Structure 1
Amino acid sequence: MEVLEHAFVISLQNRKILNKFLEETPRDQLLQIPEGFRNNIWWNIAHVVVTQQLLIYKLSGQPMRVDTALVEKFQKGTVPDGTATEEEINKIKELLFATVEWAQQDYASGLFSDFQEYTASVNVTLSSVEDAIVFNVFHEGLHTGAVLSLLKALKRNG
């Protein structure tokens, strides 16, 4: 299996884990920010969806496939506002899988021909959409780890 194809497979597996957290965690816990944390489970899951779009689509000069309002609410540098409507949660549940599938299809069709170089906050420079796809797997793993830490803190405090 080609490396990039495998990156999409890993992303889908990670998204299944995040979706399970979204479906099985009570809403009050999704939105709670435990002491010592800056965000919550909900923010981390929505942030993963938005960041994938920014890294792959925006840096490639392509229109993102998620609403601008979601990007503004969950992109890097934002903080949770303590809310999540049923509509937002359902939209993110859909986008968890659809965004990976769209990116895989759009990559296969050659949509991403341009790319604006970007240095991520972990000091990794992305010079191509392939770099962005691989980096996104790392980024999503970080946020899955954050969700696990948040769940552990909530259980400890609850």
Structure 2
Amino acid sequence: MSTLENAFDVTLQNRKKLYKLLKETPKEVLLQIPQGFRNNIWWNIAHVVVTQQLLVYKFSGQPIRINEVLVEKFKKGTIPDGTGTEEEISQVADLLLSTVQWMQEDYGNGLFDSYTEYTTSANVTLSSVEDAIIFNVYHEGLHLGAILSLLKVVSQVRQL
């Protein structure tokens, strides 16, 4: 398996975990922003979908494949307002796996033939779509860690 095939597989496995969390976690838990935190589980899950589209599609000069409203609400620098409609949650659940499959198919079809260099907030410079796909694995791992921390804190609060 090539490094890139592995990156697609790791992303898909992570997204399956996020999908399960999104579907099985009560909405009030998803939306809760515990004291000391800036965001919630819901924001983190939607944020990884948005960021993958921006890193891979936008900087490759391709149209993103998700609703622009989601981008504006969950891109880097946004803060959740503590809400999430059933429609939004369902939409993001549907996008968790499909966006990875589209990315892999589009990459295989040679869609990403150029890339605008971008330096991330982690001070990593992405010069190609391959860089973006690999960096995205790291980014999603950070957010899975944040989600697991939030889940632990929120679960403890709920038991009190």
Q: With the length of structure 2 as denominator, give the TM-score of the two structures.
A: 0.97
Match of 1:19 in 2: 19
Matched, 1:115 2:115: yes
Query: Identical aligned pairs, as a percentage?
Result: 67
- The CA deviation at 1:67 is 0.6
> What amino acid does structure 2 have at the position aligned with 1:11?
T
The aligned residue for residue 136 of structure 1 is 136
Residues 107-151 of structure 1: per-residue CA shift (max 9 Å, x gap): 000000010000001110000000000000000000000000000
Match of 2:150 in 1: 150
- State the match for 1:55 in structure 2: 55
Alignment gaps of 5+ in structure 1: none
* Corresponding letter in the other structure for 1:112: F
Equivalence for 1:87: 87
Measured after TM superposition, the shift of residue 68 of structure 1 is 0.4
Matched residue type, 1:85? T
* Cα distance in 2, alignment partners of residues 119 and 81 from structure 1: 28
Q: Which residue number corresponds to residue 106 of structure 1?
A: 106
For residue 156 of structure 1, report the CA deviation from its aligned partner: 2.0
Partner of 1:126: 126
> What's the CA shift for 1:157?
1.7
1:45 deviates by: 0.1
- After TM superposition, which residue ranges in structure 1, 4 or more long, deviate above 3 angstroms? none
The CA distance in 2 between the partners of 1:30 and 1:152, in whole Å, is 12
TM-score w.r.t. length of structure 1: 0.99
* Structure 2, gaps ≥5 residues long: none
Q: What is residue 43 of structure 1 aligned with on the other side?
A: 43
Alpha-carbon distance between aligned partners in 2 of 1:86 and 1:155, rounded to the nearest angstrom: 22
**CA distance in 1 between partners of 2:47 and 2:155 (Å):** 23
| Aligned equivalents of 2:29, 2:125: Cα separation in 1 | 35
